[in-house]
């Protein structure tokens, strides 16, 4: 078969590379035990039995004892699939992982990053990237010390001016550009550059969420020169990252090549990465089974499809699902009667069978949650969550009583939503029918459906919301506060705003967590939205991929500098 | 592509004739055109299914049976169930009604409008005919799939709007065929005679020309019905067909597509339904055309 | 679907036949006048298409600003409004139309609202892909349709006819994407352990890989196309077989095959080729689904996405392009008609 040949060549190359790599004496390699040699078959066998644990090899410079018995190999191209073209080349103007994976993560570095080894993406997992050190001399100043001598792809040296220029670009983009995440940096007052390797960020107020945001791939640092000349980091993509853009054929593929002068010595291991744009999920799945990709993600990649991939690929792949910040809520338009009545919204919550929803819509790849990622750093406990109506078990009798008490006998509800949310919308229609709410689903594309929700032109809507990090500021400013961008239900409560402002400036994590949980409970009590479930992100990985972990966010840990291919 | 399922115009130049007596004509049709008769039978099955869908369906077409998700075909669920545990048999049965509904709208708005447009354009002649044909040209030059897609997106995703979009795609070709049929009729002596006896324009159009191009219309309508089912399926694939959860066959196929390996029955039954229906329309339409064409009748 | 499908439609074919014979000077000018008139007919058609596409795109609810920003978190209405303004979507419609039409005349299609990419560049990259697919499919469909159509006519209402017609009606009745996905994703991988290689390779860069990627979509589309063409071939062949000169040839005792091939098939060929040319134009605009299933970077899927994203300039550009090709193909067919119409020469 065609692909087999590819693997053969790659193997030969990686053997040669491995020898060269060994001669280089790369720092951090000591952390690995001696490799078991060149017997590819034996390696593959080992991978099969140890499963995911094999892939937890140490990161660059990390002093953790690596359970892997393998020595990293150089060479090879890592192949992935994207469902479509990135909407633009500058990720700062984009809002999709499709842009982040090829054009942000591998090509740029951020100030800080989430430890690629720790899939939870928690505050304490933030680690060095361009900044080797960051400290807070006072609550309203953050000082970053940059790694010296970091080179851009065009040969320029990264300085604090570049960081300043990029962050300022995000806060106030030039005429004609959009910056969808400027809100995340709203607390920044000014940025100072006392010397070439020091960045001082002055804040208007304490802002513990700042680092969380800066650590996602969305905040990659481009060169000041490029920004000045072209107004964006767009088509040129001059970054400091381990890979450079080699070729981009729209609708076809994106090819990245290794940056031999990457500032982390001995990285990356890969010669390059290739992304193939394949729209059709069924065809993409077939290609995956045929071995055309090393890593695979798709929101509708169900457990049964995962099983199929494992089986039909002859065990070449392993698959998993990772808890995420992606949630499927139902909005209820409180500008309209009877949804302004909390009892009606509560009844809707009681009608939705969370277990059935997870089973039917996600084939089990989901979990109950409220606002913060379930099981994450901030969320209330499951026991606490279940105290809110509907978040434990559905109760149709109580739901009907509540509707009756609110004076609702029969109700017709218009539900505009996006075509890709169809399975969830159908489920909600089915479940609300049981309490006498007759939902009419109106499916359309984003450009049609989203304005309807923004303008309050709906009764209820089943939607899906993804956040790039599990962060309280980001979460509640998205769906809960009075001026939240997606408080489409328009259930506004000054108490929520007050608690939001309160938690946002607490720098002590434990104390902030308490405040956040208080906020989450209050929001749940108002039934602003009814969250049916949080998605688990389904992935597949070829067993030859080493040193890669799937994270709970699609926007972290995609740089691949320490990833290598065995066999 | 499926958009080209219409018969070519050249097949359809038909001369005037008296309506054959129904019964004997039917008998002759069956004898002379067994394939066509088979097609008619298939159509009859589809039509009856559509008409009596509520009686034939075994379950509510929209109802979830979450516990029975992905059941293989069995005694309860004859065609199995989908991921929501909905009964595929009931959905296929209702799908017949939806397909015919869309098809009927296409014929009503599209073929019929094409008929009127072609009739008037051909009869009026002169400048009106010239510019009317330029409008037809423009619509024919417009890529049909994009036109239907843009229209359903613009109008919103309802069964009626899908029908309207398909009609806009269908009418130009229909009007062309009708026009050429009328043009050939226009010179006939009986039209001249009618005009000589002082019949008004409307009378000539409706009483004389229209009945004589009806056979062309029927053949065009059969083709349009078949085409509508297929194009609706294509639109569903591209995300703008009949709105879910209503079970159009195209939509069911799309949903099945991602599960074709896990649950093949999801793809098999709606696919068969489409094939059977369109097959029937085409067999019947072909035979009808041959049968109604006087040049073929002598053979 | 056909503007002049019938060999005897209009005065023109005879006229041009006369031109090719070069006998009659007076009619030559009439022919010239006809040709010029026929070419000029393109103008209102193209203007018509441009108006239709412009109006329909403006009928679409929602706007490109939302499509571009709508997918992600934290996008406020003010940002969307600002973006809209930046894209110049708030100019009066006649102004927008005039600007766009002016660009068209200079063959400048403008830039995508979404990506800022030059549309001319996109067309240069994508049109060849769809063209390869469409041309391949049409050629293959002729190879299938001509023999089957002719046989079907010669053996009218006999078993061979029935079989062939079932075969070709099946091509009309099966949903294309269903067959494509079954063959590509079930049949070939499962039973032949074969999938097309990843990424589309351009034929002039890597011919063999291109072949490996294109044979299947071309084969399937070609079969579906052959259904339409075979049916027309059958019915024109039937027409021809009933013509007096064929009957005369039979009567003169010419052997069956000779009659069919030398006289009938040649005469039946013209309408079939006409249809093939027209279908080529139709396929250029109708291959979106095939391009989706086989991940081909052509213009079809590109337009579908652009409609969803309200990327007006992209939709408008490609619609105009496909319409222009369609119109030109029709023109070419019409003009060539008389030149090669053997019936005219026989007379």
Beta bridge partners of A273: A78, A256
In order of B41, C217, C308, the CA distances from C304 in angstroms are: 38, 19, 6
> Could you tell me if C172 and C51 lie in one domain?
no
Is C299 a domain residue?
A: yes
Mutate to test the interface with A, among B83, B150, B152, B156 (most CBs of A within 10 A): B83
**pLDDT-based confidence at residue B294 (cuts at 50, 70, 90):** low
C249 compared with A89, residue with greater pLDDT: A89
Judged by a CB distance cut-off of 8 A, whether residue A413 touches chain C is: no
Asked if the Cβ–Cβ distance from B157 to A427 is below 8 Å, we say: no
Q: How confident is the model at residue C67 (pLDDT cuts 50, 70, 90)?
A: low
pLDDT (0 to 100) of residue B220:
83
Question: Which ipTM score applies to this complex?
Answer: 0.82
Q: Does A149 touch chain C (CB under 8 A)?
A: no
| Helices and strands in chain A, H and E counts | 17, 19
Whether residue B15 has pLDDT greater than 60 = no
The answer to whether residue C158 sits within a structural domain is yes
Which tens digit of pLDDT belongs to each residue from C268-326? 777 888 888 888 988 888 889 899 999 999 999 899 888 888 888 899 999 999 999 99
Percent over 70 (pLDDT), chain B: 90
Q: How confident is the model at residue C216 (pLDDT cuts 50, 70, 90)?
A: very high
Q: What is the spatial distance between Cα C220 and Cα C192, in angstroms, rounded to a whole number? A: 17
- In this structure, how many other beta carbons lie within 10 angstroms of the beta carbon of residue B235? 27
For the ranges A73-82, B2-11, B83-92, C241-250, the one whose mean pLDDT is highest: A73-82
Of the listed ranges A207-211, B194-198, C341-345, the one predicted with least confidence? C341-345
Q: Is A251 near chain C, with CB under 8 Å?
A: yes
Q: What's the domain range around B40?
A: 22-292
Does residue A171 have a pLDDT over 90?
yes
What pLDDT was estimated at residue A64?
41
| Interface contact flag, A283 C212, Cβ < 8 Å | no
CA A533/CA A391 separation, integer angstroms: 9
Instruction: Give the pLDDT of residue C208.
Output: 94
Domain boundary among C84, C108, C132: C108
Q: Helices A509-525 and A472-479: crossing angle, nearest 10°?
A: 20
- Give tens-digit pLDDT for A380-431: 999 999 999 999 999 999 999 999 999 998 899 999 998 888 889 999 999 9
- Evaluate whether residue B54 is within a structural domain: yes
Q: What CATH number is associated with residue C192?
A: 1.10.3720.10
Q: What is the DSSP letter of A157?
A: B
Cα–Cα–Cα angle for A230, A232, A234, nearest 5°?
A: 95
Q: What is the pLDDT of residues A308-357, one digit of tens each?
A: 999 999 999 999 999 998 999 999 999 998 999 999 999 999 999 999 89
Q: Are residues C166 and C216 in the same domain?
A: yes
Q: Is A444 on the interface with B (CB under 8 A)?
A: yes
Of the three residues C49, C81, C108, the one that is the final residue of a domain is C108
Which candidate from A282, A359, A441 shows the least CB-CB separation from B244? A441
Chain C positions touching B156 (Cβ under 8 A) are 61
Which domains are present in chain A? 3-51+75-239+544-565 (3.90.76.10), 325-536 (3.10.105.10)
Establish if C177 belongs to a structural domain.
yes
Specify the pLDDT at position A94.
83
The Cα of B146 is separated from the nearest Cα of chain C by a number of Å equal to 7
Token duo for residue B244: 């879910």
Q: What Cα–Cα distance (Å) separates residue A558 from each residue in A109, A147, A299?
A: 11, 21, 17
> Helices H, strands E: what count in chain C?
18, 0
Indicate the pairing of strand A126-128 with strand A112-114: antiparallel
> Which residues does residue A272 pair with via DSSP β-bridges, in sequence order?
A77, A257
Question: Residue B86: which of A423, A415, A463 has the closest Cα?
Answer: A423
Within 8 A by CB and 6+ apart from A270, the residues are A75, A76, A77, A78, A243, A258, A560, A563, A564, A565
CB contact (8 A) between residue C115 and residue A253: no
Give the chain A residue whose CA is nearest to the CA of C88.
Answer: A176
Q: Is C173 in contact with B13 (Cβ distance < 8 A)?
A: no
Nearest CA in chain B to C287: B1
The overall average pLDDT reported for chain C is: 80
At residue C74, the pLDDT reads 53
- In this structure, the answer to whether residues C136 and C59 fall within a common structural domain is no
Handedness of CA B210, B211, B213, B215 (dihedral sign): positive
Number of domains in chain B: 1
C122: exposed, middle or buried (Cβ count in 10 Å: 0-12, 13-18, 19+): buried
In whole angstroms, how far apart are CA C249 and each of C7, C258, C344? Answer: 21, 9, 18
Q: Indicate if the pLDDT at residue A38 is higher than 60.
A: no
CB contact under 8 A, A178 and C83: yes
Rg (CA), chain B: 21
Number of structural domains in chain C: 2
B2 occurs within a structural domain: no
CA distance C32 to C40: 12
Closest CA to A123 of A201, A216, A57: A216
The candidate with the shortest Cα–Cα distance to A467, out of A384, A537, A560, is A537
Last residue of a domain, one of C54, C78, C108: C108
Q: Are residues C175 and C314 in the same domain?
A: yes
What's the pLDDT score for residue A553? 87
Q: For position A69, what pLDDT does the model report?
A: 67
What pLDDT does C25 receive? Answer: 53
Question: Which of A195, A76, A101, A233 has the alpha carbon at shortest distance from A566?
Answer: A76
Please provide residue A201's backbone torsions phi and psi, each rounded to the nearest 5 degrees.
-105, 120
Interacting residues of A221 by C-beta distance below 8 A, sequence separation 6+: A108, A109, A110, A111, A130, A158, A162, A163, A166, A239, A240
Position C335 in a domain: yes
Please report whether residue B272 resides in a domain. Answer: yes
C102 and C141 fall within a common domain: no
What's the rounded Cα separation, in Å, for the pair B274 and B260? 17
> Which residues contact residue B299 at a Cβ distance below 8 angstroms, ignoring those fewer than 6 apart?
none
- Chain B residue at shortest CA distance from A308: B262
Q: How many residues comprise chain C? A: 347
Cα–Cα nearest to C218, from C291, C308, C160 = C291
Residues on chain C touching A171 (C-beta within 8 angstroms) = none
Do C273 and C183 fall into the same domain?
Answer: yes
Looking at the domain assignment, is residue B299 inside a domain? no
Q: Is the pLDDT of residue A162 over 90?
A: yes
Instruction: Tell whether the model's pLDDT for residue C334 goes beyond 90.
Output: no
Domain-embedded: residue B193: yes
Calpha distance C145→C226 (Å, rounded): 5
| Half-sphere exposure of residue A95: CA atoms within 13 angstroms, side-chain side | 21
Q: Which residues of B touch A (CB under 8 A)?
A: 62-64, 66, 69, 83-85, 153, 156-157, 239, 243-245, 257-258, 260-262
DSSP SS3 for C203: coil
Using an 8 Å CB-CB cutoff, list chain C residues near B6. Answer: 1
The answer to whether residues C102 and C215 belong to one domain is no
Q: How far is A144 from A201, CA to CA, in rounded Å?
A: 8
Please tell me which of the candidates A360, A422, A445 has its beta carbon nearest to residue B244: A422
Which CATH number covers residue B234? 1.10.3720.10
B8, C233 Cβ separation under 8 angstroms: no
Position with higher pLDDT, C76 vs A222: A222
What is the dihedral angle through the alpha carbons of C331, C336, C342, C345, rounded to the nearest 10 degrees?
110
Q: Omega before A268 cis (within 30°)?
A: yes
Question: Is beta strand A529-542 parallel, antiparallel or unpaired with respect to A317-332?
Answer: antiparallel
CA distance A290 to A309: 9
Please tell me the distance from the alpha carbon of residue C316 to that of residue A346, in angstroms, as a whole number.
47
Whether residue B297 lies inside any domain: the answer is no
**Contact A426/B at CB under 8 A:** yes
Reply yes or no: is the peptide bond before residue A338 cis, omega within 30 of 0: yes
Structure tokens at C140: 């293959």
Chains that touch A (3 or more CB pairs under 8 A): B, C
Can you read off the two tokens belonging to residue B217? Answer: 């219309």
- pLDDT confidence of A370, banded at 50, 70, 90? very high
Residues 6+ apart with CB under 8 A from C43: none
Residue A409 CB burial class (10 angstroms; 0-12, 13-18, ≥19)? exposed
pLDDT score at C207 = 93
Q: Are residues C95 and C129 in the same domain?
A: no
C211 plus C296 within the same structural domain: yes
Burial of B105 (0-12, 13-18, 19+ CB in 10 A): buried
In a domain, C317, yes or no: yes
Picking from B1, B13, B233, the nearest residue to C286 by CB comes out as B1
DSSP E strands, A355-410? 366-367
Residue ranges making up the domain that contains C80? 40-108
CB contact under 8 A, A442 and B243: yes
C133 and C263 assigned to the same domain:
yes
Residue A443 CB partners (closer than 8 Å, separation 6+) = A416, A417, A418, A419, A422, A425, A449, B157, B239, B243, B244
A309 in Cβ contact with A317 (< 8 Å): yes
Residue B188 lies in a domain: yes
**B132 within domain boundaries:** yes
Q: Quick one: CA torsion of B175, B176, B182, B186, rounded to 10 degrees?
A: 130
Q: Please check whether residue C48 lies inside any domain of the structure.
A: yes
Consecutive H or E run containing A496: helix A494-504
Same domain, C233 and C326: yes
Q: How many residues does chain B have?
A: 299
How many other C-beta atoms lie within 10 A of the C-beta of residue B263?
A: 21
Which residue in the set B64, B69, B245 is minimally distant from A441, CB to CB? B245
Same domain, C147 and C210: yes
Please count the other Cβ atoms lying within 10 Å of the Cβ belonging to residue A334. Answer: 23
Distance, CA of A185 to CA of A126 (rounded, Å): 17
DSSP C74-132: T--HHHHHHHHHHTTTTS-HHHHHHHHHHHHHTT---B-TTT--BHHHHHHHHHHHHHH
């Amino acid at each position: 078969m065609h692909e087999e040949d590819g693997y053969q060549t790659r193997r030969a190359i990686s053997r040669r590379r491995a020898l060269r790599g060994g001669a280089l004496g790369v720092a951090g390699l000591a952390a690995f035990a001696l490799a078991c040699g060149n017997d590819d078959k034996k390696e593959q066998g080992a991978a099969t039995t140890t499963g995911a644990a094999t892939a937890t090899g140490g990161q660059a410079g990390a002093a953790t004892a690596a359970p892997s018995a393998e020595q990293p190999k150089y060479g090879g191209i890592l192949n992935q699939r994207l469902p479509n073209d990135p909407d633009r080349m500058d990720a700062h103007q984009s809002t999709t992982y499709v842009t982040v994976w090829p054009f942000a993560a591998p090509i740029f570095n951020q100030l800080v990053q989430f430890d690629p080894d720790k899939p939870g993406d928690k505050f304490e997992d933030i680690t060095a990237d361009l900044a080797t050190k960051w400290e807070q001399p006072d609550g309203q100043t953050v000082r970053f010390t940059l790694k010296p001598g970091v080179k851009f792809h065009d040969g320029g040296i990264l300085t604090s001016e570049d960081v300043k220029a990029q962050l300022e670009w995000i806060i106030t983009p030039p005429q004609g550009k959009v910056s969808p995440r400027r809100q995340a940096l709203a607390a920044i007052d000014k940025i100072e550059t006392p010397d070439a390797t020091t960045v001082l960020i002055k804040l208007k107020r304490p802002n513990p969420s700042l680092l969380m945001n800066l650590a996602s791939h969305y905040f990659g640092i481009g060169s000041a020169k490029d920004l000045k000349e072209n107004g964006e980091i767009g088509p040129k993509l001059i970054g400091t990252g381990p890979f450079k853009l080699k070729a981009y054929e729209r609708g076809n593929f994106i090819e990245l090549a290794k940056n031999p002068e990457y500032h982390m010595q001995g990285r990356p291991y890969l010669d390059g990465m290739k992304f193939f744009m394949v729209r059709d999920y069924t065809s993409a799945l077939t290609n995956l089974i045929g071995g055309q990709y090393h890593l695979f993600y798709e929101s509708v990649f169900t457990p049964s499809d995962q099983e199929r991939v494992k089986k039909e690929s002859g065990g070449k792949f392993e698959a998993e699902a990772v808890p995420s910040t992606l949630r499927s809520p139902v909005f209820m338009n409180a500008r309209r009667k009877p949804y302004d009545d909390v009892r009606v919204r509560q009844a809707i919550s009681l009608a939705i069978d969370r277990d059935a929803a997870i089973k039917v819509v996600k084939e089990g790849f989901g979990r109950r949650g409220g606002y913060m990622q379930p099981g994450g750093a901030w969320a209330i406990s499951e026991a606490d969550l279940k105290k809110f109506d509907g978040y434990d078990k559905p109760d149709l009798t109580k739901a009907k009583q509540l509707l009756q008490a609110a004076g609702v006998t029969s109700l017709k509800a218009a539900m505009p939503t996006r075509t890709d949310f169809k399975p969830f919308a159908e489920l909600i229609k089915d479940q609300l029918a049981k309490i006498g709410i007759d939902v009419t689903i109106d499916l359309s594309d984003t450009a049609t459906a989203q304005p309807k929700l923004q303008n309050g032109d709906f009764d209820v809507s089943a939607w899906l919301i993804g956040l790039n990090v599990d962060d309280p500021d980001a979460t509640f400013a998205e769906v809960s506060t009075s001026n939240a961008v997606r408080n489409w239900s328009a259930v506004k409560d000054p108490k929520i705003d007050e608690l939001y402002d309160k938690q946002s400036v607490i720098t002590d994590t434990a104390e902030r967590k308490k405040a956040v949980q208080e906020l989450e409970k209050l929001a749940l009590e108002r039934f602003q939205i009814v969250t049916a479930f949080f998605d688990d992100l389904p992935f597949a990985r070829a067993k030859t991929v080493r040193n890669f972990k799937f994270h709970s966010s699609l926007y972290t840990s995609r740089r691949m500098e320490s990833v290598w291919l065995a066999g | 592509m499926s958009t080209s399922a219409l018969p070519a115009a050249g097949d359809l130049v038909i001369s005037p004739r008296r309506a054959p007596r129904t019964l004997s004509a039917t008998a002759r049709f069956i004898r002379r055109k067994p394939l066509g008769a088979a097609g008619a039978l298939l159509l009859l099955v589809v039509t009856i299914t559509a008409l009596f869908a509520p009686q034939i369906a075994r379950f509510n077409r929209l109802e979830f049976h979450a516990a029975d998700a992905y059941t293989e075909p069995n005694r309860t669920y004859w065609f199995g169930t989908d991921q929501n545990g909905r009964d595929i048999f009931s959905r296929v049965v209702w799908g017949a009604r939806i397909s015919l509904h869309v098809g009927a709208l296409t014929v009503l708005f599209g073929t019929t409008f094409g008929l009127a447009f072609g009739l008037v354009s051909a009869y009026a002649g002169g400048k009106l005919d010239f510019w009317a044909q330029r409008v037809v040209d423009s619509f024919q030059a417009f890529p049909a799939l994009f036109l239907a897609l843009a229209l359903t997106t613009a109008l919103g995703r309802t069964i009626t709007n899908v029908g309207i979009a398909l009609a806009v795609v269908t009418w130009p070709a229909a009007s062309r065929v009708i026009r050429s049929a009328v043009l050939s009729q226009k010179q006939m002596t009986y039209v001249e005679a009618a005009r000589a006896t002082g019949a008004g324009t409307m009378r000539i159009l409706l009483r004389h020309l229209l009945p004589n191009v009806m056979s062309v219309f029927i053949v065009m309508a059969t083709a349009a019905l078949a085409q509508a089912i297929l194009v609706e399926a294509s639109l569903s694939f591209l995300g703008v067909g009949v709105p879910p959860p209503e079970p159009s066959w195209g939509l069911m196929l799309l949903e099945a597509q991602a599960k074709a390996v896990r649950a093949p029955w999801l793809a098999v039954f709606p696919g068969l339904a489409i094939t059977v229906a369109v097959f029937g329309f085409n067999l019947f339409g072909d035979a009808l055309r041959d049968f109604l064409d006087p040049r073929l009748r002598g053979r | 679907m056909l503007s002049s499908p019938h060999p005897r439609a209009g005065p023109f074919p005879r006229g041009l036949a006369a031109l090719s014979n070069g006998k009659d000077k007076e009619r030559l000018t009439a022919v010239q006048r006809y040709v010029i008139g026929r070419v000029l007919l393109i103008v209102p058609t193209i203007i018509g298409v441009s108006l239709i596409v412009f109006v329909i795109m403006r009928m679409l609810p929602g706007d490109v600003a939302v499509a571009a920003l709508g997918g992600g978190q934290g996008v406020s209405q003010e940002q969307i409004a600002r973006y809209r303004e930046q894209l110049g979507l708030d100019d009066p419609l006649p102004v927008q139309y005039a600007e766009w039409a002016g660009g068209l005349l200079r063959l400048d299609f403008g830039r995508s609202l979404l990506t800022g990419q030059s549309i001319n560049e996109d067309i240069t990259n994508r049109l060849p892909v769809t063209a390869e697919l469409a041309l391949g499919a049409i050629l293959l469909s002729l190879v299938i349709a001509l023999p089957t159509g002719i046989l079907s006519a010669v053996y009218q209402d006999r078993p061979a006819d029935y079989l062939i017609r079932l075969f070709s009606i099946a091509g009309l009745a099966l949903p294309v994407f269903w067959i494509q996905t079954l063959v590509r994703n079930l049949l070939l991988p499962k039973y032949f352990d074969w999938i097309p290689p990843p990424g589309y390779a351009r034929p002039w860069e890597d011919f063999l890989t291109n072949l490996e990627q294109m044979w299947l979509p071309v084969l399937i589309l070609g079969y579906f196309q052959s259904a339409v063409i075979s049916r027309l071939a059958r019915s024109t062949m039937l027409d021809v077989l009933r013509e007096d000169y064929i009957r005369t040839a039979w009567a003169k005792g010419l052997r069956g095959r000779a009659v069919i091939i030398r006289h009938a098939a040649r005469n039946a060929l013209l309408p079939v080729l006409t249809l093939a040319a027209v279908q080529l134009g139709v396929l250029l605009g109708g291959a979106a689904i095939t391009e989706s299933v086989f991940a081909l970077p052509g213009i079809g899927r590109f337009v579908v996405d652009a409609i969803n994203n309200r990327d007006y300039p992209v939709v408008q550009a490609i619609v105009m392009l496909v319409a222009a090709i369609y119109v030109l193909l029709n023109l070419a067919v019409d003009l060539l008609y008389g030149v090669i119409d053997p019936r005219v020469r026989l007379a």
